[in-house]
A and B are shown apart, each in its own frame.
Chain A
Amino acid sequence: KAGVTQTPRYLIKTRGQQVTLSCSPISGHRSVSWYQQTPGQGLQFLFEYFSETQRNKGNFPGRFSGRQFSNSRSEMNVSTLELGDSALYLCASRGAISYNEQFFGPGTRLTVL
């Protein structure tokens, strides 16, 4: 079974731009969560989607948004990028059987200049 895939793997943007990251969960998984990881703050939860509905949200500003499609693929968008948004963005999926076991993708490394 293919794992969680994320695209792109690396991205360089400048302040003020916006970015869209994509995540394809493991086949059959309907839940997708997004996390931001930085050396200073560690792993921080952004939001979780299940069956196209956001069911949980972390403490991030409204510039961070996401959505999920009917095939469970998910995107997250960050508008008006700031230098502090430079981070590894991870997505994780989980299925119904191993409900709390989350499978992570390799992440997208975003650098904001």
Chain B
Amino acid sequence: DAKTTQPPSMDCAEGRAANLPCNHSTISGNEYVYWYRQIHSQGPQYIIHGLKNNETNEMASLIITEDRKSSTLILPHATLRDTAVYYCTPLASNTGKLIFGQGTTLQVKP
């Protein structure tokens, strides 16, 4: 299983972009990069995933480096409700077994 490294915590001002990095240098060629977040006392929530191209959805954007060893999740206009622990995890197709590291606690401040 590939390991990930994320900063333990980050702050972001409300309305500004939050950029959350993740290092996954041992990711395998068939593994996608998935991002989830967990708001206190709730189950994890899927955000976005990608293989090697940048991706965007209604929640966030995902930038993956060309060598696929790292990625950045971008919340373009952070709100107080985005305060949560954010996890990146490599996941091979059809595996279904999420492995979360310690994640990054994002605190959005007014």
* Binding partners A and B: yes
Chain A residues with a Cβ under 8 A of chain B: 4, 31, 33, 35, 42-43, 45, 48, 55-56, 58, 90, 92, 94, 99-107
* Residues of B11-60 contacting chain A, CB below 8 A: 32, 34, 42-46, 49
**Interface status of B99 (Cβ within 8 A of chain A):** yes
Is the Cβ of A100 less than 8 Å from the Cβ of B43? no
How far is A23 from B95 in the complex, measured between Cα atoms in Å? 20
Q: Is the interface of B mostly helix, strand, loop or mixed?
A: loop
Contacts across chains A and B counted by CB atoms under 8 Å:
55
A109 to chain B minimum Cβ distance, whole angstroms, is 9
The answer to whether B49 and A90 touch across the interface, beta carbons within 8 angstroms, is no
Chain B residues, CB < 8 A from A99: 93-94
B46 touches A101 (CB 8 A): yes
Q: Say whether A104 contacts B43, CB under 8 Å.
A: yes
Q: How far is the CA of A4 from the CA of B93 in the complex (A)?
A: 22
Of A4, A43, A107, which one neighbours B98 at CB under 8 angstroms? A43
Query: Which of B43, B45, B91, B102 makes the CB contact (< 8 A) with A42?
Result: B102
CB-based contact A100/B44 at 8 Å:
no
7 sample A-B contacts, Cβ–Cβ < 8 Å, listed by A number: A33-B96, A43-B44, A43-B98, A48-B96, A100-B32, A100-B34, A107-B43
Chain B hits for A55, CB < 8 A: 96
Complex CA–CA separation, A92 to B97 (angstroms): 10
Interchain CB contact under 8 A, B97 and A105: no
Considering only CB atoms, which chain B residue lies closest to A106 in the complex? B43
19 further contact pairs, Cβ within 8 A, besides A42-B101, A56-B96, A100-B34: A31-B96, A33-B98, A35-B98, A42-B100, A43-B98, A45-B97, A45-B98, A55-B96, A56-B97, A92-B98, A94-B96, A99-B93, A100-B32, A100-B91, A100-B96, A101-B49, A102-B44, A102-B46, A104-B45
